[in-house]
Structure 1
C-alpha cells in the first residue's frame, strides 16, 4: 500500500506544471552580450553603462565555437529533463531573428539566429522547452527609466523620460512574446522576469524615491491572456505581479536559496521551481571564484525534491559559445551521480509528513512505484534506524549498485542495544557496510509493502 501524503495532487489550476514537477531537474541558460563582458549579466546596470558604450559588446558578439548539440548532450547526460534559455535578458538583446528590432544576434558579427538551433538541439535530446523573457528592457527607447535602469542616476533622467512612452514598450513586448510562443511552439515553460512595484518606506509610509514597475507597467493581465490563448499548455512563473488573479501563475520561483518546506499559497501546497547558479553570477563571469562543489549541488537538488520542488540549475556560456570547464566539471559530476541515482530524483517528491528521516539523512518518495529513498549525507557506523517504518519495508538496497542492505539486527546487536536503550516498535534498523560507498551521496532504496 503506497504511503499517504496529504495535498499530493495539485488542483486543476496547477496541472500545467505537473510534468515539470515530475521531471524535477532542468538547466537554466543565461547567454547574451554580457557574456562578452564576462563579469555578470547585470554589468550594464552595475557599472552604469550607457547603451552607446554597451554597443561594443554587440559589435564583438561572435560565438564561433557555439554548438548547441554539445550543450544539449551535457544537460541530458547530467540528468536534466527540461531547459530554459534567456531569449531576451534585461539589456534587451534578442537571441532570435525577431521582426520587432534590429538588436538581435543576426545583426552581430555572428550573423545567425542562436535560439532556433538551441531549441532544436535540446528537443532532440528529449528535454522540454522553456523560454525566459525579460520584462525589463534597458535598450528600448520607450522603456521608462526607473531605479533598476542603468541611467537611474542620470542628472537628466526626468527629461529623458519625457520622451518615453511605456505603452509603446508594452505593445513591443507583447509582440515579442507572441512571436516566441508562435515560432517555438510548443512551449512547456515560460519564465517572465521580473516585477518590482514601487514600495513605501517603512518609517514614513510615504513614497520613496525608489521607482519600480509592476502589473500595470507590463499590462500583465493581457499579457497572460495572450499566453493562455496561444500556448494554453505552457506553465507560467509568478513574476508578473498578478498573484491575486485566478490562474495568474503556475509555479513559484524562489531564487538562489533552498526553502525550508514545501511552498504554500493561501494554505495550499503549490508547484515550485527553485533556480540557482554554480557560482554568484547567472551570466558567464570569468573571475568568479565562489563555485559550489559537485556534492553541494547534488545535495541542493535532493533537498529541493524532498520538499516537493524542482530545480533549474544555471549555466552561463562564454562569449565564444561554450560551457566553460568549471561548468562542464560540475555537470559531469552531477551526471555521474544521476546515472546511478536518478530514480531517487525523477518522479519523486516529499515523503509523507509523518515520516522523519534519521539525522543527516533526507527522504524522497516515488508514489507511483511506492519506493522511499534515503539520501545519506554523513555515513553512520553500522546501523541506520528508521522511525515509523516497521513492517513497511519489503526489501532494501544501495541504489548505485543494487547491493542488498539487510533489514534488522543480529541477536548480539539486539542485546547490546536493548541493554542501553529501547527502540520504538515502529522503528526498523538497517545494517550498513562499514565502508562508505564511493559516490557523492549514497542512497538506499526501500521497496515498500
Structure 2
C-alpha cells in the first residue's frame, strides 16, 4: 500500500512540518509606496532617495500585532527583511549608520524576533546580498546609478564582501536563535565567488547550527526558492527530490504598493498553499506594511480569511506532505500518516471516484465540521442503472457520496482515514447496494 513520505529528520524537520510562513518586506521603499525596487526603477540618486530616510517613522509598526496575525492565519514561521537592496538596515549595526536605529531609534529586527517567539513562531531573517548604498558595491545593471559617472568610480569588492560577512555575523549573534536565513540574490556577474559564498555559509552554520538556509548564495542550501510561480509537481535535482519554498506576494509587489490593486483572492492563495504541500513544498506569503509600518486593510483581511480556513483544516497542511496515491482530476491529495486529505477546488455532482482506495478507507468525513461522508466500493461489472462500469474506471475505485451543495469554505476538504497496514478491512459506514442513488453523469467527477 502506498504510504505518505517518512517524517523528515535533521534541522529541516521543523521547516517541512510548518509548510506555511509569513514574509514581511518593510523599509524606506515603503514610504515611496511604489514597489521595493523603486530606487533602481527610477534611477534615483542617493540624495533623492534619502528624502525617505529623513521621514522614516514606523510609529504603527507593531511586531506583536504582526505576529498574532501570522499565527492566526495558520503560519508557523515568519521572515523579515533585515536589509533590502537599498542597503537600509532594520537592525542595530556597528558597521553603518544607515539603520532604523539611527533614523527612528528602533531596532525592528529585535522587536520582530521577540514578538514572533512570543507567539510560538520560528524566526527567519532575509538579507540582501546587494547593497546600493555601500560605496564598494559594483555599479552594475541593477544599480540605481547605472549609466552615470559612478560606473567609473573605483569599487573594492573585497571590502564590500567583508562588510557583508560582518553584517551576517551581527544578525546571527545579536538576536538569539535564528531558524531560517533567506539570502537574496545571485545573478550573472555577482555569484558565489563575489559573495564568498562557501565561507559565508560555513560561518552561518557555525554560528547557528540548527538554521536552514536557502539557495540564493549560488551554492546548494537546504531548500530552493521558486519565486512568483507555483510548482505543480515535486521539484528534483539530478533525479533526487529537493525541499522547496514558493514565495508569493499578495499583489505582485513585495514592498507596499499603494496603487496596485491586482490582489490574489484568499481562495486562490489557499489552493496555492495546498498545491505546495501536495508537491512537497512550503509557501511563504508576503505582506508589505505601509510607510508607517501597519498592514493595510486588504492584507489584514486576506490573512484573516486564510486563518478562518486554516483553523479547521490545519492538519491537512501542517505536518502533511505528498501522497503516493494519485488524486482524481481537479483535486489534490495531501497526506499525514494514515490520514489522506482530498482537497476539492472543483465541486462534483454527488459522487467522487477515488481510484485505488477501495477496501482501504476506514472512515470519511468533511474536515471543516467532522460530518461523515458515506462511501462504497465500485463494482467493476455493474454500475447503477445501466449495468456498465464507467470507461476507464477500475474495480478498486472507492466512490464517495457528497451533498449537492458545496460547503461554505474556501476549499472543501475530505479527510479519509486509511486502514493501517496489516489490519483487516473496516469499511465504516458504506452505502448499501439497495440505497437510492443517481447514475454518474459526465462532468460529475471531482
TM-score (norm 1): 0.90
Q: Name the residue aligned to 1:29.
A: 24
Q: Which blocks of at least 5 consecutive residues in structure 2 are unaligned?
A: 420-446
Kept in 1, the 8 Å contact 2:4–2:336? The answer is no
Q: Match for 1:194 among 185, 191, 196?
A: 185
Q: Name the residue aligned to 1:176.
A: 167
Question: What SS is found at the alignment partner of 1:100?
Answer: coil
Kindly indicate whether residue 327 of structure 2 is the aligned counterpart of residue 362 of structure 1.
Answer: no
Kept in 1, the 8 Å contact 2:72–2:304? The answer is yes
Following superposition of structure 1 onto structure 2, how do residues 297-316 of structure 1 map, counting pairs within 5 Å?
A: 297-316=269-288
Q: Tell me, in whole angstroms, the C-alpha distance in 2 between the residues paired with 1:172 and 1:299.
A: 41
Deviation of residue 364 (structure 1)? 0.5
Deviation of residue 409 (structure 1)? 7.0
Q: Match for 1:128 among 122, 127, 135?
A: 122
Kept in 1, the 8 Å contact 2:132–2:143? The answer is yes
Kept in 1, the 8 Å contact 2:378–2:399? The answer is no
Following superposition of structure 1 onto structure 2, how do residues 365-404 of structure 1 map, counting pairs within 5 Å?
A: 365-367=335-337, 370-404=338-372
Kept in 1, the 8 Å contact 2:321–2:334? The answer is yes
Q: Name the residue aligned to 1:16.
A: 11
Following superposition of structure 1 onto structure 2, how do residues 368-447 of structure 1 map, counting pairs within 5 Å?
A: 370-408=338-376, 414-416=383-385, 418-419=387-388, 421=390, 423-447=393-417
Question: What SS is found at the alignment partner of 2:340?
Answer: strand
Q: Tell me, in whole angstroms, the C-alpha distance in 1 between the residues paired with 2:261 and 2:386.
A: 47
Q: Tell me, in whole angstroms, the C-alpha distance in 2 between the residues paired with 1:371 and 1:361.
A: 16
Following superposition of structure 1 onto structure 2, how do residues 196-215 of structure 1 map, counting pairs within 5 Å?
A: 196-197=187-188, 212-215=189-192
Deviation of residue 16 (structure 1)? 2.5
Q: Tell me, in whole angstroms, the C-alpha distance in 2 between the residues paired with 1:372 and 1:181.
A: 39
Q: Match for 1:229 among 206, 226, 231?
A: 206
Kept in 2, the 8 Å contact 1:129–1:187? The answer is yes
Q: Which blocks of at least 5 consecutive residues in structure 1 are unaligned?
A: 198-211, 244-248
Kept in 1, the 8 Å contact 2:334–2:342? The answer is yes
Deviation of residue 266 (structure 1)? 1.7
Question: What SS is found at the alignment partner of 1:139?
Answer: coil
Kindly indicate whether residue 291 of structure 2 is the aligned counterpart of residue 323 of structure 1.
Answer: no
Equivalent residue pairs, number: 416
Question: What SS is found at the alignment partner of 1:326?
Answer: helix
Deviation of residue 419 (structure 1)? 3.6
Deviation of residue 28 (structure 1)? 0.4
Which stretch has the larger CA shift, 295-304 or 257-266?
257-266
Kept in 2, the 8 Å contact 1:282–1:314? The answer is yes
Question: What SS is found at the alignment partner of 1:441?
Answer: coil
Q: Name the residue aligned to 2:219.
A: 242
Deviation of residue 147 (structure 1)? 1.2
Kindly indicate whether residue 102 of structure 2 is the aligned counterpart of residue 107 of structure 1.
Answer: yes
Deviation of residue 9 (structure 1)? 6.1
Q: Name the residue aligned to 2:140.
A: 146
Distance 1:151 1:240, change over 3 A: same
Deviation of residue 185 (structure 1)? 2.5
Q: Name the residue aligned to 1:208.
A: none
Q: Name the residue aligned to 1:203.
A: none
Kindly indicate whether residue 68 of structure 2 is the aligned counterpart of residue 96 of structure 1.
Answer: no
Q: Tell me, in whole angstroms, the C-alpha distance in 1 between the residues paired with 2:364 and 2:130.
A: 51
Q: Tell me, in whole angstroms, the C-alpha distance in 2 between the residues paired with 1:130 and 1:414.
A: 54
Distance 1:5 1:448, change over 3 A: closer
Kindly indicate whether residue 47 of structure 2 is the aligned counterpart of residue 48 of structure 1.
Answer: no
